[in-house]
Amino acid sequence: MKIESTKFSLGQTLITPGARDTLLPEDVLRSLRRHARGDWGDCCKDDREANDIALGDGSRIFSVYHDEVGTKFWIITEADRASTTVLLPSEY
């Protein structure tokens, strides 16, 4: 079994009701793994750069993904790394 290296701790993983009711669990888990490895998904250049800086300075990390049918969702890890939330943009 290959162990994937992560760049930071996700802390407690949370999912909002809208994301839970809309997204397939497989899409969420795949995206959480990508997020923890530093693959920021479909973020804009500025957000990617801010995330790379956040790895060093401990600020918030924000990623954008799409599920298999194209639904956009976000993953946000708080600055203190105590929690990571999966949510739909409309729930922010």
**Domain boundaries defined on the chain:** 26-91
pLDDT digits (tens, 9 = 90+) for 48-60: 999 999 999 999 9
Q: Can you say whether residue 39 is alpha, beta or left, with left for phi > 0 and alpha for psi between -120 and 50 degrees?
A: beta
pLDDT digits (tens, 9 = 90+) for 75-91: 999 999 999 999 999 99
